[in-house]
Chains A and B, each alone.
Chain A
């Protein structure tokens, strides 16, 4: 592998780190491509080749993950959480959340029980959306 690939990896990682750090900000492809110092088309293509999903999808997953945490850890209302994690509209948020989590934000929150003092691997195994009916 050439050193150019390593440079490219680090540039893509820098953009991904920016999404992890500043997910609540209105990050768009032009802004992210600037962080990576490449053109927009090159950025989308290279990011996907490097991390296996598009930058848009990565940012959606990051925002939904943060929303899941806020739904469980706080009493803030769903609309408030939607904007707090960087979504621009409640419709997009609800649709994306359901697509990724398999449940609406409110249902997700309702299903949560106060985390008991058990190893989290059990909670994770028993509370994740089932694919087996």
Chain B
């Protein structure tokens, strides 16, 4: 038995419409699935040309979480302490950074050259951390 891909990841967002605006209109991702299942809105996005790897943008709330726990999740998320962390790669970190600044995206860490590549950090509107790197080939 061999597992062969990471196909879906999940992060919490506070508002799925605002999440769509950020991940699609600002970061340039594509909607993979946006379906009202009745019990929840199943909303996933992927990078263009890579529909095999989706990110589920899930809104915390009852009945999946009890109301008090959902509030704790929202509290931690907005403090930047929830741990949702996306790492993405790009061909050109400095250009991508420039584009995102122009779109008003919050930069948490300016592009810096490191042994492994050039990378920078951004935050989504809810508090999730995202890191974008132009990676050097592995030795």
Contacts and interface: CB of A to CB of B under 8 A. Distances in A.
Q: Do A and B interact?
A: yes
Interface of A: 1, 5-7, 9-10, 12-14, 16-17, 20-21, 50-51
B41 interface: no
Interface of B: 14, 71, 74-75, 78-80, 106-110, 123, 126-127
B75 A20 contact: no
Contacts of A20: 108-109
B109 A1 contact: no
Contacts of A51: 79
Is the contact region of chain B dominated by helix, strand, or loop, or is it mixed? mixed
Contact of A17 (B14, B71, B108, B126): B108
A9 B127 CA distance: 9
A16 to B, nearest CB: 8
A21 B108 contact: yes
A76 to B, nearest CB: 16
Nearest to B68: A1
A9 B106 contact: no
Contacts of B127: 9-10, 13
A9 B78 contact: yes
A50 B78 CA distance: 10
Contacts of A9: 75, 78-79, 127
B78 A13 contact: yes
9 contacts: A1-B71, A1-B75, A9-B75, A12-B79, A13-B123, A14-B106, A20-B108, A21-B108, A51-B79
A17 B79 CA distance: 11
Nearest to B125: A10
A36 B67 CA distance: 28
Contact of B78 (A10, A17, A21): A10
A6 B108 contact: no
A21 B75 CA distance: 23
Contacts of A1: 71, 74-75
B107 to A, nearest CB: 6
A5 B123 CA distance: 19
Contacts of B123: 13, 17
